[in-house]
Amino acid sequence: MPRQYELLIFDWDGTLMDSAGHIVDAIQQACADLGIPAPGDRACRQIIGLGLVQALQTLLPDLPQGDYPRLVERYRHHYLGRDAEIPLFAGVRDGIRDLREAGFTLAVATGKSLKGLERALAHSQLRPYFSATRCADQTHSKPHPAMVEEILGELMLDKGQTLVIGDTSHDMLMAANAGVDRLGVTYGAHLPEDLHSHAPVALLDSFAEVQTWLMTRA
């Protein structure tokens, strides 16, 4: 049967890499460094997927404007100090290779910086499988549709052939704003109820389920 989707656009943190807990911990340690109360785990998880500055401004809207650069610096200190140790979710390494070999075109749209994504791609050895990437410091942050639109333009593919796969409401909204289908995963940063209202084509509980769904339904 004809394939429904040609292009699969993956989020990174919380979808391919098991990094949500590390992000939460780095935010809380950065707050401690500045002597400000650290938000709880749930609040921190809700801003995962946004660009870093936007995420911190959303999480801590009452922080004096001049304190955000210092908070960003401390966050990066704590996160980058161990980012090489953060694992992919089970099955991701082989699954991404298998999806590419099955003929899908793969891309990444992430709230990470370009430097951060390149480090993650190098550590994970997944770089050869992705035809395009977009990061929050290259264009508009999620949930703006620019990442999807720019990837589509670069690869000269149609939105009707495109599926976004992500773990946050920001991913689902970005896809909806771009007019493309979306698939939610429940093992990342946001809860299933955060994703369900954005009409994903499916909500799946592991990357193994994602791979099976894509191989048989996409």
Which residues are identified as catalytic? 11, 13
DSSP letters, 72-93, are: HHHHHHHHHTSGGGPPBPTTHH
User: Residue 49 is encoded by which pair of tokens?
Assistant: 């997927």
Distant-in-sequence, close-in-space partners of 48: CB < 8 Å, separation ≥ 6: 13, 14, 20, 23, 24, 55, 111, 168, 188, 189, 190
Maximum Cα–Cα distance across the chain: 59
* Residue bearing tokens 């870093």: 52
Amino acid at 60: L
Interhelix angle 146-155/169-178, rounded to 10 degrees, is 60
Cβ neighbours of residue 35 closer than 8 Å, sequence gap 6 or more? none
